[in-house]
Amino acid sequence: FLPPGNVVSLQEWVECRMPGEVELGTDDAGLVVLRPARNAREKEPDPALQSFLSRLPSDQFLQEEEDLREAIVSACEKAPETLAQVKRLPSVLKCTKVLLPAAIKLEDWIERRIGAEVAVETDAAGQRVCRLMGSEPLPRQESRNREKDRSEEFFRMLPKDAFLPEEEKLRMAIFDFLAGWSAQELATLQHCAQSPAVAEAKRVMFASHAVNFKDWIERRIGGELILRPDPAGRGELEIHLTPAARPVVAERVALLQARKPPGIWPAPARPPPHLHPPPIPAPMPHMAGGSERGSERSNRQDRRRDKERKEPQHRDE
């Protein structure tokens, strides 16, 4: 039904053709899921949740609740954070294991116990996000639609059978990053975006346009790179090379190895420090023959004492 080439994503179609009926969110693994909108489904109370909440004091927090509240508030102080990321924080994990039964979701506890401080909302990408109340709200649907319109206008201006010079620079910056990637795990979209060269090329390319980096990759170089959710469920997108991209990356690897620009390739390993014990120093010159001279001196002193004993007797005579 949808046109090929990812021209229109399923998310865009749902938001434009089924507004208010379906909402997009993320599961515990960080993957996008579809669920009936809150106003389109019947609110049936969860017996397990109701039983758990009934055991909590209504006018104060348990100490375990206070610890969990502080962990969540600290995670969202600087900026809104995705619910999936909040759940993975060690401080939050520790508190949830102590406080929440397995059947109770963290977002349900947040909404019912600290909803006046922390809001759980859906952002423009369909992810569930934790935001402190009083902070800047997430973009509304109208602003999201305007951003999509500007994004579509940007893609319509791009040539269909070639790359702009700024696009080619961004494309090659991505391939240079992949050519220099040496970790065992696959590089992710987040790793790529944090590369200084890629970040600079993005800044030049998207300076005055609200364009998502992921959308540009999928729509402009999707025949060379494929973005897939990581199997570990961290909510990140791994970068996979297609057969068309492998020769390009191999060529960039050869060029980078030939140039070896400073700051990218590791410095040669230094030899280990000298670990042998220092040589034993030779005896000092004044130490040589010390025992013989000492014996000679002692003999002279003995002879002098004998002579002194005899002298008084000679005078008495």
CA angle 166, 125, 133 (to 5 degrees): 120
pLDDT top residue among 252 and 232: 252
Distance (Å, whole) CA 286 – CA 297: 16
- Range name among 41-55, 86-100, 277-291 with the lowest pLDDT average: 277-291
Residue 273 is predicted with a pLDDT of 43
**CB-based contacts of 21, cutoff 8 Å, min separation 6:** 36, 37, 40
Q: How confident is the model at residue 78 (pLDDT cuts 50, 70, 90)?
A: confident
Distance (Å, whole) CA 28 – CA 91: 17
pTM listed for this prediction: 0.42
Secondary structure of residue 317 in the 3-state scheme: coil
Kindly state the average pLDDT of the residues 127-152. Answer: 71
Kindly state the average pLDDT of the residues 129-157. Answer: 72
Stated length of the chain: 317
Residue 41 is predicted with a pLDDT of 43
Give, rounded to a whole angstrom, the gap between the first and last alpha carbons of the chain. 146
CA dihedral 73, 74, 77, 82 (to 10 degrees): -70
How is residue 170 written in tokens? 């961004």
Residue 281 is predicted with a pLDDT of 47
